[in-house]
Amino acid sequence: MEFRKKTIAVFFGGCSTEYEVSLKSAFSVIKSIDTEKYQLVLIGIERRTGKWLWYRGELEKIRDNCWYQEMCTPVFPSMDKKLHGFHYMKEGSLCIQSLDAAFPILHGKNGEDGTVQGILELMGVPVIGCDLLCSALCMNKEMAHRVVAAAGIRTAKAEILRTGNTEEEVRTAAHRIGYPLFVKPVRAGSSFGIAKVFSERELPGAVEEAFRHDSIVILEEEIKGFEVGCAILGTEELLTGEVDEIELSQGFFNYTEKYTLKTSGIHVPARISAEKAEEIKKTAIKIYRLLGCSFFARVDMFLSPAGEIYFNEVNTIPGFTAHSRYPNMLKAAGLSFDEIIEKILGVKPL
């Protein structure tokens, strides 16, 4: 039987504040995919217009954010599930490109939140990664915490704010939490719009900024201790990386710190006992299953001074650069970057 390469669309870019991070992650992933096994179709999503463009240029131009300037063909999804692909124009004729699967490397809103996954589902194209429901659930901090807390896993005390809340209602909600507290958009990634608030005086500005990123805002208590994470790969059979630990010298792990590490450090393996690391892994797997994750995700938690584990969030499409937490946790468990990508592509037969 003649071997046929599987055709995979890799999506990058997107209408998100995390657009640049997506470009760097996608560049690393694309370089690591074995093109002897897979035919790649690179689909860039323009940041401002949301157009889907089939990119055929040099990979470095994706990393450097100049990919859209040339070698691009506009495409649009076909909802005919027999075609399971997209349409494009060539020499005045309507053409179809069928796909065996799609690999979204999109961070934040309009990509990691179930929107693109829903379109791919309507197209009849299998998604390499978490599905629509899981992606939307994990992006929503309020709903993810509700599901996890219902299973008996600790979460931070929280209060929900909406645009109609009065200033008095906001102050009262913050008083119930206690200072310091965190103000967060409910549906945003990479710490955009998040602030640590130490007093009532700082509260209005932080809430206003959070509302710039979402129509729902969450107030959360500060969990004393430090953040730990667990990389998980698989759907039925799961593989975990080594637990990592974020060491902060000041503030919190905001967008700048995540991508520069100016005043913080990441330790992998975490500086904790083997027994506690195993407990964290088991908790992460439980959360992964509860929220319906598949293929891959990073589960973030807090470890208190008393050794208590609190759920923070799940990143369904974590960073995929060589310096990102997800691949580094799996690297510490013995997997190279190329092996991680190969295993993700092999989670389910394409």
Whether 279 is catalytic: no
Any residues with CB less than 8 A from the CB of 232 and at least 6 apart, and which? Answer: 238, 239, 240, 241, 284, 285, 288, 293, 296, 297, 298, 299
CA atoms 300, 311, 251, 19: torsion sign: positive
Q: Is 191 labeled as catalytic in the residue annotation?
A: no
Q: Give Dmax over CA atoms of the chain in angstroms.
A: 71
Residue 286 phi, psi (nearest 5): -60, -45
Choose, from 25, 28, 135, 190, the residue flagged as catalytic: 190
Give bridge partners of residue 40 from the DSSP assignment: 8
Is 18 one of the annotated active-site residues of the chain? yes
**By the 8 A CB rule, do 330 and 336 touch?**
no
Among 28, 135, 264, 324, which one carries the catalytic annotation?
A: 324
Collect all residues with Cβ–Cβ distance below 8 Å to 344 and sequence separation of at least 6. Answer: 128, 233, 295, 296
Q: Residue 287: which of 266, 274, 301 has the closest Cα?
A: 301
Show Cβ contacts of residue 337 under 8 Å, excluding neighbours closer than 6 positions.
Answer: 28, 32, 322, 327, 331
Task: Please identify which of the residues 16, 18, 112, 135 carries the catalytic annotation.
Answer: 18
**What's the CA gap between 160 and 172, in Å, rounded?**
12
* Type of residue found at 156: A
Which residues are catalytic, by number? 18, 190, 324
